[in-house]
Amino acid sequence: MSRKKPCIRCLLRDMDEEENYQRLRLYLDQFDESIRTSDEEYERRLQLCKECESLREGICVKCGCYVEARALRKQAHCPHEDARW
């Protein structure tokens, strides 16, 4: 079965949501342990993001990042004015 190559010029709305999530998971799984936050801290950060009015379809409208990627990085911080994490 041939796998369709991702289009680098496609808009997110034109892409398959499940495929996008799988691509994000692969990216997150490749983060080096030295830059990853603990699992507990990661889940805490994601919970705070889920409660935030700036979260839209997995993206922070304050900075444009995928919150699941930003929250995983040990040195990252919340871009919100009151820096929730």
Q: For the chain, what percent of residues have pLDDT higher than 70?
A: 86
Who has greater pLDDT, 17 or 67?
67
Is the pTM higher than 0.85? The answer reads no
Bridge-based pairing of strands 55-56 and 59-60 is antiparallel
Looking at residue 18, its pLDDT comes to 85
